[in-house]
Amino acid sequence: MPTRVETLDNGLKVILRPIPDAKALSTWVTYRIGSRNEVPGMTGSTHWVEHMLFKGGGKLKKGDIDRLVSRLGGKMNAFTDTDFTTYFETIPASAMDTALLIESERMRNAAFDPREVEAERTVVISEREGAENQPEFLVEEELWGLAFHVHPYHWTPIGYKQDLARFERDPLYRHYLRYYAPNNAFLVMVGGFDLAVAMQHIREAFAPLKPEPAPEPMPLVEPEQRGERRSDLRRPGSADLLAIGWHVPPFVHEDTPALIVLSTILGGWRGFTPFAAGEWRSRSNRLYRALVETKLATDTTVRQELKVDPALLIANATLAPKASLDAVEAVVDREVERLRKTAPAKSELDRAKRQVRTWFRYENDGVTYQGMMMTVMEALSSWDAADGVLARVEKVKPEEIRRAAARHLVDDRRSVVRFHAQEASA
């Protein structure tokens, strides 16, 4: 689809995709700030800032954002990732200026009222404590902490409770001012609008905002892992869990297409933006057949974490009652070893490619999903990067899958977390 890209004088990159006759539009404003930009003692600060940007400031009072979007029958949300933070509104096309008002006021004019900061402390700590009651979160946090000792992927975006308990308003506000600037952001708009009109309205809303000095690049690089790392967790839970993470290159690496197909063959593909997948699970993959169909597990997934920096390819399994962690891990090891030694059959490769193609179409269904796809891709590389990766996926050959497995799914560069479910105390 025709897409226009322009950068304002203050550094804000604008990416516009008009869709003729669309009755809605989706506006996404994203900041190149995630938990990877935090430091020890300030973990969770980016996520907390996200919460504060619903509290009003400038022309918007507390509650105005929700009221403005709700009365239009629209939807809005925001999320903090390791690599970026994004906000969106999907509303009727005729109400474009409502989204631009919300996002331009957010960018530089958030209030950070001290009373609201303190009230939000309770909210983010409660969110953290709620996550701690989920075994899946505990396993995920343990896995990233085990795999990354130097790089800030070591912690999750929600941060550590002790940091959340001690934050003061002023450092949090400085964090906002440093990163929430037009030259550290980009805007994506998809839907029913005229290009010239939209560009003029965007200039009117955002051009007056002053840029900030560019943030320093995140300097930390994770040293190569030289030896398997393991951890066992024992907490209340309904089932044992297994997670294995292998170090893989960043999204822009040349091996990404082969790793996408590899992960699809091993555990199924759930898209470039997994938010679209919901609870759907693929059944046409090796681990599902080897673990779920044999009653060793009730659920299994594989996901390649697409990140700015080197990240992880993760295999997860939820064990069936009476299944042993040793047995399930042995099956995963066997299937990974098969990939390292033997290239997949063409029929299996073609099925995996079809799955990736199908998800790509689904992820571009409607203005919200298109906006999300373009946003995630721009945060990682370029707004149109998914098209290029998809084209390269189509060209992946069976032997490239085997080589990618042999190069990246290496025991000495993996981390293993076992969750031993315990009965809750009375």
CATH number for the domain harbouring residue 312: 3.30.830.10
Handedness of CA 334, 340, 341, 343 (dihedral sign): positive
- What is the gyration radius of the CA atoms in the chain, in angstroms? 22
Q: End of a domain among 140, 175, 207?
A: 207
235 and 198 part of one domain: no
Percent residues over pLDDT 90 in the chain: 93
In a domain, 244, yes or no: yes
Q: Are 298 and 287 in contact (CB under 8 A)?
A: no
In a domain, 218, yes or no: no
* pTM of the full structure: 0.95
In a domain, 183, yes or no: yes
For range 244-272, the mean pLDDT: 96
33 and 91 part of one domain: yes
170 and 266 part of one domain: no
For range 302-321, the mean pLDDT: 97
Q: End of a domain among 173, 207, 241?
A: 207
Domain count, the chain: 2
163 and 291 part of one domain: no
Question: Is residue 243 pLDDT above 80, yes or no?
Answer: yes
Q: Which domain holds residue 66?
A: 4-207
In a domain, 222, yes or no: no
284 and 371 part of one domain: yes
State the chain's mean pLDDT as an integer: 96
Question: Is residue 283 pLDDT above 90, yes or no?
Answer: no
199 and 293 part of one domain: no
Question: Is residue 334 pLDDT above 70, yes or no?
Answer: yes
311 and 360 part of one domain: yes
In a domain, 78, yes or no: yes
275 and 201 part of one domain: no
In a domain, 405, yes or no: yes
167 and 243 part of one domain: no
For range 404-412, the mean pLDDT: 98
171 and 92 part of one domain: yes
185 and 271 part of one domain: no
The tokens 């919300």 sit on which residue?
102
In a domain, 38, yes or no: yes
In a domain, 402, yes or no: yes
321 and 193 part of one domain: no
Residues 86-142 pLDDT 10s: 999 999 999 999 999 999 999 999 999 999 999 999 999 999 999 999 999 999 999
